Amino acid sequence: MVPPDLDRFPREANDISRAGNQISKKTLRVTLWVGVASAFFGAAAFGASAFGLIPSFETNNREKDEVRKEEAIENGPPVTISAGGSYYGPGIWVSEEDRTGQYHGVPFDQETLETDRPSWVWLEKHWVPLHLTGVSINVLSEHKKTTLVQGVEISNLACAKPFDGTLLQPPGIGDGGEEAIPVDMALNVDAARPVTRELNESGEPGRPFTKQIALEQGDQRGFVIKFFARTKSCTFNAHLIVSSNGKAYRLKLPATWKQGGKPDSYTFRVSAAPSSHTYRSTYYAGGGTVLEVPQDRFQWVTPNQPTYIP
């Protein structure tokens, strides 16, 4: 039998004690390092806040966003085009078809959006303006440098003989007036070389339009652009010619607008009167009801537009 080791338990006790001390010292060192790191990063964050470094980062980001927005604006179209309220449409409409007796006694509904009975949207869909058509727009300048509105060009022009089927004079709309006088432009679309012109005193295209309408950033100006046909019926597109930062832009003009001011169609239509100034059927709706009337109730005081004689 081996005699017991009298020093065993004291040695084990000492070993356990030393191991415990080593663990405690290691834990202490880890705790101290964690504390120092926390204090360092906490002080750094406090210092950044105290000296405005973090707000500076946010400010820089905001400034970069603003720069990007400004660059996007400067690289985009120089103006924004929206619907104006200065042009109330033609006074007379015509159709290629003979509509004898078709609408006599039918009310002209000035409020409906239906296109299958006499109304303004019905006219826009099924009829063509006689002699002149047009559009009213508001032009808002977007670029920092001065923008110049220089005129109008037409494209995709297709012309044929004038319509002589049916003539209709709708009810009057009236004029709401204008706070600012719009800029008037006019073109003879069936001319050998259509160019932008001024309106003369009789409301017809006059001398060439040579002005340049200057707009600074944020400026808005109203324009009324009228298109005339003297010998033919025509369809076409139109563009506003704008110059900015040494570059020319051709901005497409809407021909009609939806409810809410969104573009509806970009195709303009207009027809001249036939050389005989006669139609197969004629209607008048001045009293709110469409009535078929004799041809001689329309007198051609001017070569292009008749006047209804009650």
**pLDDT exceeds cutoff 80 at 166:** yes
Q: Considering the entire predicted model, what is its pTM?
A: 0.76
Average pLDDT taken over every residue of the chain: 82
**pLDDT exceeds cutoff 70 at 20:** no
Q: What angle do CA 92, 129, 255 make, to 5 degrees?
A: 140
Could you read off the pLDDT of 68-98 as tens digits, one per residue? Answer: 666 666 667 899 999 998 777 788 999 999 9
Could you read off the pLDDT of 22-39 as tens digits, one per residue? Answer: 544 444 344 434 444 444
Paired strand residues for 243: 148, 248
Could you read off the pLDDT of 227-253 as tens digits, one per residue? Answer: 999 999 999 999 999 999 889 999 999
Of the two residues 225 and 54, the one the predictor is more confident about is 225
C-alpha–C-alpha distance, residues 90 and 273, integer Å? 13
Paired strand residues for 208: 197
